[in-house]
A = this chain, B = another copy of it.
Amino acid sequence: MNKYYDRYINYKTQIDERLFNFIEEEHPKSLYEPLKYILSGGGKRIRPMILIFCCEAIGGTIEDSIDAAVAIEILHNFTLVHDDIMDNADTRRGRATIHNKWDLNIAILAGDELIGLAYKSLLMTNSPNIGEIARVFTNGIIEVCEGQSYDKEFESRESVSVSEYLMMIRKKTSKLLETCAAVGAYIGNGSPEQVENLMNYAKNLGLAFQIQDDLLDITADENAFGKKIGGDIVEGKKTYLLLKANEVVTGESEKKLISEIIENTRDRDISAQAIQKIKEIYSDYNVIDSAANEVKNYTLKADSYLDELDNSDAKEMLKWFSKMLLSRNF
């Protein structure tokens, strides 16, 4: 495809290999079978990739950072296993979730163990900054738990403001990307300014990514996106679009429809007509434009932090990777 893509695939292969071979234990089977299952489940390896490129962008190498990169992917998998329990999700990436394939207790324990395994891989990193690296990693875990708690709280709350929503996704989605950048930067012995710039880059990329995910629920091509269009509306998910609409809509019938979705008081069988009506509201009240603008602004902001760094192949990689990510091109 191109030299960027080739490098991505090369790194992905290395990450996957480490990940698949990370667990050598066999017993207890009730713990290690589900762990092997989840770690072999595939994925784009977005987070480890950002960690490695951030490390490289300031002079480090993939060899220095791959243990930490594997650690962050294991940590990400912990969040998936426990979130799937909380969301009653039966499948993930087309495969049965752990609590569905095994049971609740096994899924709780597998998630717990993944945190331990994540630290195990992280602490294999050979760096004089290991204390600081472990500290930013730990802050990541703490804030991701806070983000997930807010998300669950918001589900049962009647009203959530757009700014509360942004605070929540900053913790739930962006924080882990920010952690990748910080860990990569510390491994690369970055200066305080470099660490700061890379963290800000990742934070803004995360916000752009999440809001775009909300947007794609309405605007995407169903086949390319791989999810059902309007699925968030059917689920009553409090997305950027829905919360923004709730703040700006003025018409009586439109206000009523939006709050019914937010308060989950409608029948779960939301008609295609109602979804169409909501799409029109989003369009009429410039909610879609507003979301698209947010994505654009966060993306520009992310790029501007990268521009502060000296030029390098890895910096170009980060730019290419952000673009691929936001265009959902792989």
Contact = CB atoms under 8 A, between A and B. Distances in A.
A111 interface: yes
A25 B149 CA distance: 13
A328 interface: no
Residues of A contacting B: mostly: helix
A55 B123 CA distance: 23
A31 interface: yes
Contacts of A30: 149, 152-153
A86 B113 contact: no
Contacts of A112: 78, 82, 111-112, 115, 141, 145
Given A120-B138, A131-B130, A86 B108 contact: yes
B145 A109 contact: yes
A195 B152 CA distance: 44
A135 interface: yes
A251 interface: no
Contacts of A105: 85-86, 152
A29 B153 CA distance: 9
Given A28-B146, A130-B130, A134-B134, A141 B153 contact: no
Contacts of A109: 82, 86, 145, 148-149, 152
A142 interface: yes
Interface string A108-130: 11011101110110010000001
Q: How large is the interface on A (under 10, 10 to 19, 20 to 34, 35 or more residues)?
A: 35 or more
Contacts of A148: 109
A23 to B, nearest CB: 11
A158 B29 CA distance: 16
A150 interface: yes
Contact of A31 (B29, B106, B149): B149
A249 to B, nearest CB: 27
A134 B152 contact: no
B31 A145 contact: yes
B108 A146 contact: no
Contact of A117 (B78, B113, B119, B142): B142
Interface string A134-170: 1100110110011011101100000000000000000
A243 B38 CA distance: 34
Nearest to A171: B28
A95 to B, nearest CB: 21
Taking each of A142, A145, A148, A153, which has the highest tally of chain B beta carbons within 10 Å of its own beta carbon?
A: A145
Given A116-B142, A123-B131, A130-B131, 19 more contacts: A28-B150, A28-B153, A30-B149, A30-B152, A78-B112, A85-B104, A108-B108, A109-B145, A109-B149, A109-B152, A112-B145, A113-B142, A113-B145, A115-B141, A116-B141, A119-B138, A123-B138, A131-B131, A134-B134
26 contacts: A78-B112, A82-B108, A82-B112, A85-B104, A86-B105, A86-B109, A105-B152, A106-B152, A108-B108, A108-B111, A109-B148, A109-B149, A111-B112, A112-B145, A113-B141, A113-B146, A116-B138, A116-B141, A119-B134, A119-B138, A120-B135, A120-B138, A123-B134, A123-B138, A130-B131, A130-B134
